[in-house]
């Protein structure tokens, strides 16, 4: 399977691949606010709602039939560790945003939030099976490396790491990547997720050390 290496995305943000204040680790620690939730492939449903032209929902089988990509990415936890060269396989955020009609390619391939009857999408709220939520400005999500990942290192994503499906955000601290994700809502105004309400940064750029707000 072909693989795209996006580990050079740091060049957009800073001089060093490992962001300031981070230490490289070879382990892949598990960080969850609670227990790993149960996953039932028969009843699992993924929804795309909010300021879109067409709200979408997918069963597990339908989600797995979506076009997928494999990428080599780095993973930066706000608690100070970074794991380099993770291989994630999944569906790009752009793929879902296009299917729902959130975005429209402009002249130079740029994307903009589109007006819908409920307004213009500017923000995204991710939800998950354990009740976790996290949010990001829409423009920070409209990037090829934001993936809904079901595969890790050629295997199914382990449940502790968010299997069956998690978000990965290699350009952000990893709390922006909802494990056990089961929905995205396109919002017409900024809204705060679980850690963001508790003082963590909304934008979470590791190269600017945006840890807390
Ligand atoms: N649903 C859910 N997603 C989550 C969390 C969580 O508690 N619940 N923790 C976040 C935090 S703080 C981090 S650092 C990463 C950790 O991912 P990992 O356990 O695969 O290392 O997941 C993020 N996504
Ligand atoms: Mo974290």
Question: Mind listing the pLDDT tens digit for each residue in 112-171?
Answer: 566 666 678 999 999 999 999 999 999 999 999 999 999 999 999 999 999 999 999 999
CA 109 to ligand 1 center in whole angstroms:
32
The ranges assigned to domains in the chain are: 3-26+43-206
CA 209 to ligand 2 center in whole angstroms:
13
CB 22 within 8 A of CB 82: yes
The kind and range of the H/E element at 135 are: strand 133-137
CB 148 within 8 A of CB 90: yes
Query: Cα–chain-centroid distance for residue 171?
Result: 10
CA 86 to ligand 1 center in whole angstroms:
15
Nearest ligand to the CA atom of 180: 1
Q: In the chain, which residues have pLDDT < 70?
A: 1, 103-118
Q: 131 CB under 6 A from ligand 1?
A: no
Question: Mind listing the pLDDT tens digit for each residue in 152-168?
Answer: 999 999 999 999 999 99
pLDDT at 120: 87
The kind and range of the H/E element at 197 are: helix 194-197
CATH topology of domain 3-26+43-206: Sulfite Oxidase; Chain A, domain 2 (3.90.420)
Cα 126 to Cα 103: distance, rounded to the nearest angstrom: 18
Please choose from 149, 158, 166, 177 the residue to mutate so as to test ligand 1's pocket, defined by most ligand atoms within 8 A of CB. 177
Q: Are strands 123-128 and 166-168 parallel, antiparallel or unpaired?
A: unpaired
pLDDT at 103: 63
pLDDT at 115: 65
Cα 44 to Cα 183: distance, rounded to the nearest angstrom: 11
Please choose from 165, 166, 175, 206 the residue to mutate so as to test ligand 1's pocket, defined by most ligand atoms within 8 A of CB. 175
């Amino acid at each position: 399977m072909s693989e795209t290496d996006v580990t050079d995305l740091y060049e957009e943000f800073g001089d060093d691949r490992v962001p300031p204040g981070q230490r490289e680790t070879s382990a892949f620690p598990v960080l969850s606010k609670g227990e790993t939730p149960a996953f039932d492939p028969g009843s699992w449903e993924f929804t795309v709602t909010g300021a879109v032209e067409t709200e979408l929902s997918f069963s597990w089988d339908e989600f797995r039939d979506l076009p997928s990509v494999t990428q080599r990415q780095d993973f930066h936890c706000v608690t100070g560790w970074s794991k380099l060269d993770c291989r994630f396989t999944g569906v790009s955020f752009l793929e879902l945003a296009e299917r729902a009609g959130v975005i429209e390619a402009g002249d130079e391939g740029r994307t903009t939030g589109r007006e819908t009857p409920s307004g213009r999408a500017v923000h995204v709220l991710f939800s998950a099976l354990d009740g976790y939520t996290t949010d990001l400005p829409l423009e920070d999500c409209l990037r090829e490396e934001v993936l809904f990942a079901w595969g890790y290192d050629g295997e199914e994503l382990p449940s502790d790491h968010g299997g069956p499906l998690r978000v990965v955000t290699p350009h952000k601290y990893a709390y922006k990547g909802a494990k056990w994700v089961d929905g995205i809502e396109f919002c017409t105004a900024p809204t705060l997720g679980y850690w963001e309400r508790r003082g963590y940064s909304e934008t979470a750029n590791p190269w600017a050390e945006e840890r807390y707000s």
